[in-house]
Each structure stands twice: as structure tokens, then as C-alpha cells.
């Protein structure tokens, strides 16, 4: 986890870097969230603005984190950045939140979205959604535990799978749809209108950008390539999301998009391409979500595994074990799957995705602020990459994320306080484990003496 990446080959050029940005960001959100964003925003115009604001916050965040990651060239992402800048406790807390809330909630939400679309595709009754979702999560958990190369095949197929339906919905929706796009109400008067909640919902669709900075050490010329890849990649993603929403609104009225929820894109495809065409597009969307879910189940268990290696979780001895035959962190993967399944049973996908994004943004804000601390600390060190328009871009990232976090606390105090409570619950666990380790060290010294 703490190894410096000195020996990475510098082989990544602009096209690969940009496709990495687009590939890691576009997952399920563009298909799942349009209805929720309109519902929270109150009407279609404000919903489109929410998508733009989400894109701006993400772009500012991506450019800022790129400098942080280039100054801390170590594997481990958020966990390592916060530990290096703020000390062990903050690094630990971010890892704790990723293990207990963020990872399982994202896996759970994706599983439930997948189950819902699959049930809808085969016209199955409502109760099937949960079981199909749980089945897909458990299945991929087993596949990734077996340490197979199939994970990579799923990723490749899903990348193609997600781009085809997006392209077809945009082109044919804008060409054939003739509904009014702007100023159309959500049709729901019971939900309180909140731009903050709408932007939070879009941030689920933009999530994944944190991985962008990881490849800085493998770029031919990171100072030049990284900002170009991030700006081009995330601008394209924002444009794609806006165009998908415009296309959906041209095919279906805003209140219908809200009522259909995660099934809006599939329904729009049926309107555009008939039943069989609609089903094919729905299969493409399912492949996209399945691939996204596979990627999360492959990567998220690496956080508890790395924490367990440092004895920072209860049961670290077990969680840090790698399977003898498969060479995978089986127990850390099982932990994430069990937590995800429990969340799937007790909650719904929209709520899970919102809790996940809220909880991780508490730490993203710290990571953005780290750029100021690192510049002061490493004043005499030459930077391979500097965030453009400093300090404006980091300030936009901090203010934008702060707005989303604070408005979420006001809009949804129950879930926000639950997430903050679980975060703070990590502190007594941390100090208890520290005490236990100190005691063990004393006993070892005593026994040796």
C-alpha cells in the first residue's frame, strides 16, 4: 500500500488516458438517475443545470486530485493521500468509511438497479428485483474471488455495452423525439425542491473520477497530458450526460421520466426502436451496469485488505489473508459482499447511492484542501503537474462539494447523521486496536527479554 511507484513504465499517451477517464466514470448513473434528478430539481431546466454543476464540481475535483496524486506517488488513493497529509487517524477514517459505507452501498445500489432492470426486461413481478440483485452481487463476488481473468473480459464487453445504447439513445432521441425539453415540471409536488439533492444525485453518475490521478506515474508527460486528459474526458462525459437527458426528455415527458425511474432509458428505447429494439438497448444497459458492478467488486475489497494488513480493522488476521490457490483477498471480498447484501435488504438503490456519495465527499473535500498544504510543505520541490488556474480550481472543487454536503445535511438529516455517526464510530475502534497492538508489542519485548 505504501510502496512508491518508481518503476512504472511511462507508456500511457493522451488517448489511453482520456479513455480511462471516460471508462471509469460512465457506469450506471446516466441511465439510472435522470428521473431522480428531475424530481429533486423540480423541473427539467433545473435538472439540466444540476448535471452541468455536477460536471463542473467533478472536473475541478479531478484536476485538483491529479496534483495531489502526482505529489504523493503511492498506491492506495484517498486513504494514502489523507494519511500522508493529515496523519494516520484521517487516513484510517477514510478507509473505514470506504469499507463500512461507501463500497458496500455502491455495490448494493448497482446490484438493485441491475435486478430492477432485469426483472423489467422479463416482465417479472416486483419481489424478483431484490433476489436478482442479490444473485448478481454474490455471483460476481464468487467470480472475483476465484481470481479469474474473466473479470477483464467482462470489463471489455461492458465498455462496448454501455457506449452503444448511449450513442443510439442520443442520436435517435434528439432526431425523432419532439417533446418540449425545457421548463417541464416533475409532476411530483410532495418532494421538496433542492438543487443540492439534484446535484448529489448527478455525482453518483460522475463518481469514479478519483481513479484518474492514479495513472500519473505511467504517463509519458504527465504535466501536459494529465490536465488535457481530465479536461477532455470529463467535458465529454458531461456533454454525453446532458445529451442523454435532452434525448430522454424529447422522447418522454419529464413527469414520465420521474415515474419510470431507473426504467426510463429502456422505455425511451422501446418508443424509439420498438419492443425488440428497446429490449436490445435494455440488454446493453444491463451489460454496462454488470461491468460497472464487476469493476467495483474487483477493486473495493482492496481497501479493507490493505487496512487489515496494517491491523487497522477487527479480524485483521483473517481479512488480510490471500487465498492459497486463487491469490485473491477472499475474506475482504466476502466482507464487502455481506455488507452490500444487508444494505440491499434494508434499503433502496437511490438512498444507498446518495449515502455512499455523501459519505465519501466528506473526505474528498479534505483531499481537495490537501493541495494547499502540499504546496506549502513541498515549496522547493519541482512539480510534475500543477493544477491549472490555481487556486481557483481547487476552491471551486471545495465550495461545490461543500454546497452538496451541507445541503444534503439539511435536506436529509437522518441519512446524513447516520453516515457521520458510522464515520465517527471508527474512532473508538481505531484507538482500541492501537491499544491492543501496543500491548502485544510490550508482551513480545517482555517475552524476548
Average pLDDT along the chain: 84
Rounded CA separation 225/394 (Å) = 19
| Lowest-pLDDT choice from 88-92, 246-250, 313-317, 393-397 | 313-317
Q: Quick one: cell of 208?
A: 469514479
Rounded CA separation 52/395 (Å) = 17
Region class of 186: left (phi > 0), else alpha (psi between -120 and 50), else beta: alpha
Q: Quick one: cell of 306?
A: 490493505
Cis, peptide link before residue 391, omega less than 30° from 0: yes
Nearest to 14 by CA among 167, 241, 218, 207: 218
Handedness of CA 108, 112, 118, 122 (dihedral sign): positive
Q: Quick one: cell of 318?
A: 483473517
Q: What is the model's pLDDT at position 51?
A: 94
Q: What is the model's pLDDT at position 327?
A: 73
Q: What is the model's pLDDT at position 381?
A: 82
Share of the chain above pLDDT 70, in %: 88
Q: State the burial class of residue 429 (Cβ atoms within 10 Å of its Cβ: 0-12, 13-18, 19+).
A: middle
Q: What is the model's pLDDT at position 7?
A: 46
Q: What is the model's pLDDT at position 398?
A: 97
Per-residue pLDDT for 315 more than 60?
yes
More confident residue, 52 or 77: 52
Rounded CA separation 125/380 (Å) = 64
Q: What is the model's pLDDT at position 158?
A: 66
Per-residue pLDDT for 347 more than 60?
yes
pLDDT band, very low/low/confident/very high, at 283 (cuts 50, 70, 90): confident
Angle 264-299/34-41 helices, nearest 10 degrees? 110
More confident residue, 285 or 95: 95
pLDDT band, very low/low/confident/very high, at 441 (cuts 50, 70, 90): confident
Mean pLDDT for the stretch of residues 350-377? 92
Per-residue pLDDT for 219 more than 80?
no
Per-residue pLDDT for 1 more than 80?
no
* Domains in the chain, CATH or no CATH each: 14-437 (1.20.1740.10)
Q: Quick one: cell of 54?
A: 455536477
pLDDT band, very low/low/confident/very high, at 5 (cuts 50, 70, 90): very low
Per-residue pLDDT for 150 more than 80?
no
Share of the chain above pLDDT 90, in %: 33
Mean pLDDT for the stretch of residues 147-176? 73
Q: What is the model's pLDDT at position 154?
A: 63
pLDDT in tens, 110-149: 999 999 989 988 888 888 999 999 999 999 898 888 865 5
More confident residue, 170 or 446: 170
Paired with 4 in beta bridges are: 74
Q: Which long-range contacts (CB under 8 A, 24 or more apart) does 430-433 make?
A: 430/89, 430/92, 430/93, 430/96, 430/312, 433/311, 433/312, 433/313, 433/314, 433/316
Rounded CA separation 358/25 (Å) = 17
pLDDT in tens, 23-70: 778 878 888 888 899 999 888 889 999 999 999 999 999 889 888 887
Rounded CA separation 352/297 (Å) = 16
Q: Residue 111, Cα to own-chain centre: how many angstroms?
A: 14
Q: What is the model's pLDDT at position 75?
A: 63
Q: What is the model's pLDDT at position 6?
A: 41
Amino acid at each position: 500500500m505504501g510502496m512508491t511507484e518508481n518503476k512504472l513504465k511511462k507508456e500511457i499517451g493522451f488517448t489511453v488516458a482520456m479513455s480511462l477517464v471516460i471508462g471509469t466514470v460512465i457506469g450506471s448513473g446516466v441511465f439510472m438517475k435522470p428521473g431522480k434528478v428531475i424530481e429533486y430539481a423540480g423541473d427539467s431546466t433545473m435538472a439540466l443545470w444540476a448535471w452541468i454543476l455536477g460536471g463542473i464540481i467533478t472536473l475541478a475535483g479531478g484536476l485538483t486530485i491529479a496534483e495531489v496524486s502526482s505529489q504523493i506517488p503511492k498506491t492506495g488513493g484517498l486513504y494514502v493521500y489523507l494519511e500522508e497529509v493529515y496523519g494516520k487517524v484521517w487516513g484510517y477514517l477514510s478507509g473505514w468509511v470506504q469499507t463500512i459505507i461507501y463500497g458496500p452501498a455502491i455495490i448494493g445500489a448497482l446490484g438493485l438497479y441491475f435486478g430492477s432492470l432485469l426483472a423489467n426486461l422479463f416482465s417479472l413481478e416486483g419481489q424478483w428485483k431484490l433476489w436478482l440483485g442479490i444473485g448478481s452481487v454474490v455471483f460476481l463476488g464468487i467470480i472475483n474471488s476465484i481470481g479469474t481473468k474473466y473479470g477483464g473480459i467482462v470489463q471489455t464487453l461492458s465498455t462496448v455495452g454501455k457506449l452503444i445504447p448511449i450513442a443510439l439513445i442520443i442520436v435517435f432521441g434528439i432526431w425523432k423525439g419532439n417533446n418540449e425539453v425545457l421548463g417541464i415540471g416533475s409532476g411530483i409536488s410532495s418532494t421538496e425542491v433542492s438543487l443540492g439533492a439534484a446535484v448529489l444525485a448527478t455525482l453518483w453518475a460522475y463518481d469514479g473520477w478519483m481513479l484518474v490521478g492514479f495513472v500519473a506515474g505511467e504517463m509519458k508527460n504527465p504535466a501536459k497530458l494529465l490536465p488535457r486528459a481530465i479536461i477532455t474526458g470529463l467535458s465529454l462525459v458531461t456533454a454525453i450526460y446532458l445529451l442523454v437527458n435532452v434525448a430522454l426528455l424529447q422522447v418522454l415527458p419529464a413527469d414520465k421520466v420521474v415515474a419510470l425511474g431507473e426504467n426510463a432509458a429502456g422505455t425511451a428505447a422501446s418508443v424509439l426502436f420498438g419492443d425488440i429494439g428497446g429490449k436490445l438497448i435494455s440488454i446493453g444497459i444491463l451489460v454496462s451496469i454488470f461491468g460497472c458492478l464487476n469493476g467495483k467488486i474487483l477493486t473495493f475489497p482492496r481497501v479493507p485488505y490493505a487496512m487489515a494488513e496494517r491491523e487497522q480493522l477487527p479480524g485483521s488476521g483473517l481479512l488480510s489473508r490471500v487465498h492459497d490457490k486463487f491469490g485473491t483477498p477472499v475474506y475482504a471480498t466476502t466482507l464487502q459482499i455481506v455488507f452490500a447484501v444487508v444494505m440491499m435488504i434494508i434499503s433502496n438503490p437511490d438512498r444507498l447511492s446518495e449515502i455512499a456519495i455523501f459519505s465519501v465527499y466528506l473526505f474528498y473535500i479534505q483531499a481537495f484542501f490537501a493541495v494547499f498544504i502540499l504546496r506549502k510543505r513541498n515549496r522547493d520541490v519541482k512539480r510534475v503537474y500543477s493544477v491549472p488556474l490555481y487556486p481557483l480550481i481547487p476552491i471551486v472543487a471545495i465550495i461545490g462539494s461543500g454546497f452538496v454536503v451541507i445541503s444534503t445535511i439539511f435536506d436529509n438529516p437522518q441519512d446524513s447523521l447516520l453516515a457521520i455517526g458510522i464515520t465517527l464510530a471508527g474512532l473508538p475502534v481505531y484507538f482500541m486496536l492501537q491499544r491492543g497492538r501496543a500491548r502485544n508489542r510490550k508482551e513480545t519485548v517482555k517475552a524476548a527479554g
